[in-house]
Amino acid sequence: MTSEEKAAMLEQKLTTLQMFYAAVQADSTLRYGNAGILDRVTEQKHAEQVKTGAALAKRLGVKEPKQAFLKTQDIFGCANWVCEDTEDGFTATCANCMLCAISKKMGQYSPCRLNCLNPIEAMLKGVQPNAEFTIEKTLWNEDKCLVRVNLGRN
């Protein structure tokens, strides 16, 4: 087997694992929603993630705020985040998300905060605690996710 064939095989394995991971996240969101505990679980997980955001950021190699979006994209392969600088920070936009697409097919419960945006916010604030993280849109209800991050640069 050539090195190119090995690389292609590893890439396929990674893609398959990312798809399975997204499906498991979508399934847990559906089950939490059906049990009537999705909001409570989301709040509890968010509180935990805020406390451990710096450690998670370090583990994933996130050293600056934008990397919270981009490293998540690289590792989990769900969302295609694009970050653009603004006067006071940046915006992060996502027009395509495997987790959201799977969740929409499975049921009526949004996975966006529980499985994506809250962990990203926790890591971002783990590296820049005073950042403001504002979710303006999500793919669940809109044509894209849009997050504004104010880093206080104005």
Look at residue 1 in the predicted model and tell me its pLDDT.
Answer: 86
pLDDT greater than 70 at residue 154: no
CATH of the domain at 55: 3.30.1380
* Residue the block writes with tokens 């399934």: 27
Question: What is the SS3 assignment for 132?
Answer: strand
Tally of CB atoms within 10 A around 35: 10
Nearest one of 122, 99, 107, 140 to 32, comparing CA atoms:
107
Reported pTM: 0.92
- Please, which residues have CB within 8 angstroms of residue 33's CB and are 6 or more apart in sequence? 107, 108, 109
Q: How is residue 42 written in tokens?
A: 């989301």
pLDDT greater than 70 at residue 12: yes
- Binned at pLDDT 50, 70 and 90, residue 107 comes out as confident
Nearest one of 60, 55, 128 to 89, comparing CA atoms:
128
- Domain with 60, as residue range(s), is 3-150
Can you tell me the mean pLDDT for 20-28?
96
Number of domains making up the chain: 1
Q: How far apart are CA 25 and CA 85, in angstroms?
A: 30
* Residue the block writes with tokens 């505990």: 37
Instruction: For the chain, give the longest Cα–Cα distance.
Output: 55
